[in-house]
Structure 1
């Protein structure tokens, strides 16, 4: 396994030096950690609600037309007395329903205690032969038995179904147990009765129930309910579930054809008697009987929602974290904003498509991880930007600083400024006689005087697109053609001319500055400038605690030595500036230069052909603002 160690080390290095990858991986780890402890569950439950509500607005679904609810509503309570009713009321209802020939009748009421009319109800159950009774529990998981006065006489004539369901922590019912061990749920038992009765019924108008696939007892997980829509009995929408009042059924005010071959669920809908919250009734509850109607509907149409397997959710969260940073680093700010604005509706659209196929896709966890990744990316990128600006912005104009950031990919590799070779023009400027001036001026005068000079000279350099590399005592070192590699002849020529323009501007500004110094009784300044064009190595140097962007190479040394040699130029020369033959060749006829001669520079064996400047840029044959007439 020794061969694997270098590979892992390289991978580790790449991971820790690539901030987009590291940021994305970190966001994914956070998202997965929160997923593992269930932190996303409240958001996923909220997303479940919103998706079903949104689907209903966009493309309403219809309840299974096999289902009818007969409601113990306010009108029925007004007519027959307060709830709970005596069992003769149920017997009377069942006898009336029998005339309409429903396929199955389910009573979603608890019938545990013995009452006077139990025998009457049991007789009606036996005579109907299509009844399902609800079995509740005592709150501790122990099933409550049906009244023996009903169960014993009617044994074999009815089915039992449990009505157990556990609302989520927010009180919304989203899942249901289809089996409790070997014991079917109320909805499953209703469909068993429905399928059995219709299979044994002859006639051309009998619905075909062979396609209904009933679940079998087993190790069932809770099933996610695909709620079809709101369940207000007074709604006029054609997609609503048919809800009839008990009093209307008993008094014969209901067309029997509405009940023939149907699954009839009898339950309490009067306010506060059997409250149940679902995604469409979050604040004001609906009735518990509609939960069983939804279960029956989902079983008939095989449309319980299928949640994605855990491994797929983990994959989506991981992809959301890493994919977001991968994408953001390739987009400009406007595109990033569009992405962040659009990711939520796109995510919801994908989830709605899944919902149309009965798939319950995770929404909150991938979207939240996406935003965690985006915020982390923004934070790290801003920190990197600040570091880059701290490194370069004080040495360059604001325009150049913005250009550096816009083209940071040319400067940065794996989140760090990398060394590069390029051709640039270096300008070296030094004050003459600074040592003696420093000896005569007190520090509280010397430093403001020197800083004023630096500020004026730096502005001249930056105005021409140059970058101040460093201040060395009283000297200024600047470069034109950094930090981006511009090695085409036309680009090198433009940089050389910009350097010479900066030198001329520095000379002109120094004249005005000296007038101010003289008026203030301060020493005036004379300087020398050396300019050379050639290859450079640029990059960051220093420690992790302190980094600086610097230039290296013989080009820097030559510019510095040329600056030193300006001391040998005639004192009456207006601009004490020397530039090398390499720089002069790029100037062409735009500047009027004068060959000074081959100069022996300190530390070099070979002499350097050197030139000085006599005038500003030329326009045709005319000189503009000549520095001297000789």
Structure 2
């Protein structure tokens, strides 16, 4: 019962559903289910971001497939590699990164290559650190024992895409800088910029104007990613195609454009199709040497311009972000009255979320987008499903209570204004001003004893159907059936606030009773024609305040009215039921009304004062009036002669 009431409250559910959805989405995110779509969304943003405006500080001298075919050999012999390094140095390169393993000598010229590497302070060689010691590749022999050795390991995300770069790697005893960092520091050293500890966080690296906080395992859209080593998020602001690229043939033949390599970080690597060294990035597939060039350029750019590395919110901040969008989904669903508006509002919400994520990217903040979008969509869908369920339940309840007892217009009004009537799955109790009508068949028991069950129900249903139809025709509501009796209300369940409205209800009630009197003429003629008894009815009408609401259990509710007004109408109906002398003014329908009803209808009807009596259940006496007809009808005198007692109609 309490659960039904709580789950039936729209404002409570508008809070409960988003909270539940937010918790589910956070759980899914913590389990790693959303990492792949979050990374894919991040890739989309990175691929469509603004490019950096600064010219690249890097260049690539590539070994292409055409170079290999022209030279007729691979790997490049040491003699050729030494010439290549010497030529690049003569072009004025600020730093040279050799992204080609040379742990073992190849062909002739090994001494020359070792000497060039050892004596040229701008040359950086590579080693493969690798997790497995058996797969590690040693640095070039000419650089062993120097600080010009760097790791060219590449970090792959679980989906095989490179989105992170390395600053340092260590095995617990030896620390290796990554190739991009070593080249960047060599380039920046000429500008008197050196790597330092951050003054606030000494464990963090500071390079020029930028501090590089280490990437943690839950950075942005990641969930428990391997964060060993010192990692940083790549921003991919430099499209790979903007990096100047030349071939070793151009370098060796001296056909480079003038100043092409001067003052740049130059990386030497392989982009040949026959040598597999390619990686997938958010911008597409690139060669390994290109990836290291992107690393170096980002580090230099950050150090020189102060352009911060991509950052992300804390987990608590991201949780609040997800909750906010879950709440927004519930709000949008509560405002949506049509499927079109639902689609438009949620589509607009997703566009706003996309705008926030894109703005965050431009400002260097990774704002997760998939988790909040999922939270908003699920919250909107579940809240809509709840509203539809509530809609159907309330409609079913209203239709069960009213569909057969009020007019179509009243039923439509009730449904359109259901929020005013329904609370917690029940109709709210209301104090209303109404006119109540009771109608009961005179001498029903003898009829029931004379007729067979089938004949009795047929006889009774013809009468009750006629009365119910008249009640609906005159804007009333059939409240209940009591065997042969019927109860109706006028002014229920829609509140009637003004005196004019209450007068209209009283007039409709009496007009309904007069219509029943008139309809009985035809009904009784048909009843008597088929040998059935005629119907005589007593009607009591009283106006005043009533309490209206639903009674019963959740599985069987009934809408009704209670109060002194209802009791007074019942007393009027049964007034002098045994001793009343029926006359032609009553015909087959005696109609008695109380004084409050008389005051409301004024001179609309011909009324006759009957008596002032104290009745059961009331301390004050009732002033009772009989309704003779409409005011515009000619008065019909009783059939008996003047002064004679009224004739009684024998009836059942």
TM-score norm. by structure 1 comes to: 0.78
Find the counterpart in structure 2 of residue 236 from structure 1. none
Report the CA distance between 1:310 and its aligned residue.
0.1
Find the counterpart in structure 2 of residue 225 from structure 1. 234
Larger radius of gyration: 2
Find the counterpart in structure 2 of residue 94 from structure 1. 85
Q: Indicate which of 79, 82, 93 corresponds to 2:70.
A: 79
Give the number of aligned pairs.
Answer: 590
SS at match of 1:257: coil
Q: Indicate which of 405, 414, 420 corresponds to 1:410.
A: 420
Structure 1 runs not aligned, ≥5 long: 1-9, 202-208, 234-239
Q: Indicate which of 424, 442, 445 corresponds to 2:434.
A: 424
Find the counterpart in structure 2 of residue 585 from structure 1. 599
Q: Does 1:367 align with 2:359?
A: no
Distance 1:63 1:38, change over 3 A: farther
SS at match of 1:70: strand
Alignment deviations for residues 520-567 of structure 1 (CA, whole Å, 9 cap, x no partner):
998876655444332222333333444443332222222333344596
Report the CA distance between 1:501 and its aligned residue.
5.9
Q: Indicate which of 151, 157, 168 corresponds to 1:161.
A: 151
Residues 405-414 or 259-268, more deviating: 405-414
Find the counterpart in structure 2 of residue 104 from structure 1. 95
Alignment deviations for residues 111-152 of structure 1 (CA, whole Å, 9 cap, x no partner):
444433544433333454323333324453777243453433
Q: Does 1:604 align with 2:614?
A: no
Q: Indicate which of 260, 263, 273 corresponds to 1:261.
A: 263
Alignment deviations for residues 372-391 of structure 1 (CA, whole Å, 9 cap, x no partner):
22222222222222332222
Q: CA RMSD in A?
A: 4.3
Find the counterpart in structure 1 of residue 542 from structure 2. 532
Decide whether the 8 Å contact of 2:513 with 2:539 is kept in 1.
Answer: yes
Q: Indicate which of 284, 291, 310 corresponds to 1:305.
A: 310
Alignment deviations for residues 461-480 of structure 1 (CA, whole Å, 9 cap, x no partner):
55665544444445444434
SS at match of 1:50: helix
Report the CA distance between 1:328 and its aligned residue.
4.4
Q: Does 1:130 align with 2:122?
A: yes
CA distance in 1 between counterparts of 2:348 and 2:331 reads 17
Q: Indicate which of 561, 570, 573 corresponds to 2:571.
A: 561
Q: Does 1:192 align with 2:185?
A: yes
Report the CA distance between 1:366 and its aligned residue.
1.7
CA distance in 2 between counterparts of 1:428 and 1:261 reads 105
Alignment deviations for residues 593-616 of structure 1 (CA, whole Å, 9 cap, x no partner):
524434645543433334565667
CA distance in 2 between counterparts of 1:463 and 1:287 reads 85
Residues 437-446 or 471-480, more deviating: 437-446
Find the counterpart in structure 2 of residue 33 from structure 1. 27
CA distance in 2 between counterparts of 1:88 and 1:449 reads 120
Decide whether the 8 Å contact of 2:214 with 2:232 is kept in 1.
Answer: no
SS at match of 1:178: strand
Alignment deviations for residues 567-624 of structure 1 (CA, whole Å, 9 cap, x no partner):
65646546654443333434456x43524434645543433334565667x9xxxx5x
User: What does 1:474-553 correspond to in 2, within 5 Å?
Assistant: 474-497=484-507, 499=509, 527-553=537-563
Report the CA distance between 1:160 and its aligned residue.
0.9
Find the counterpart in structure 1 of residue 325 from structure 2. 320
Alignment deviations for residues 238-261 of structure 1 (CA, whole Å, 9 cap, x no partner):
xx4444444444444432433221
Decide whether the 8 Å contact of 2:56 with 2:238 is kept in 1.
Answer: no
Find the counterpart in structure 2 of residue 49 from structure 1. 43
Residues 119-128 or 552-561, more deviating: 119-128
Alignment deviations for residues 38-89 of structure 1 (CA, whole Å, 9 cap, x no partner):
3332332232123334x43xx4554752133334444444434576544445
TM-score norm. by structure 2 comes to: 0.75
CA distance in 1 between counterparts of 2:111 and 2:466 reads 109
Decide whether the 8 Å contact of 1:529 with 1:566 is kept in 2.
Answer: no
Decide whether the 8 Å contact of 2:585 with 2:628 is kept in 1.
Answer: no
SS at match of 1:24: helix
Find the counterpart in structure 1 of residue 283 from structure 2. 280
CA distance in 1 between counterparts of 2:234 and 2:385 reads 41
Decide whether the 8 Å contact of 2:92 with 2:263 is kept in 1.
Answer: yes
Distance 1:603 1:129, change over 3 A: same
Distance 1:214 1:392, change over 3 A: closer
Alignment deviations for residues 492-517 of structure 1 (CA, whole Å, 9 cap, x no partner):
44544555566567677777888898
Find the counterpart in structure 2 of residue 179 from structure 1. 168
Find the counterpart in structure 2 of residue 3 from structure 1. none
Find the counterpart in structure 1 of residue 219 from structure 2. none
Distance 1:269 1:24, change over 3 A: same
Find the counterpart in structure 2 of residue 20 from structure 1. 14
Structure 2 runs not aligned, ≥5 long: 195-205, 216-227, 638-652
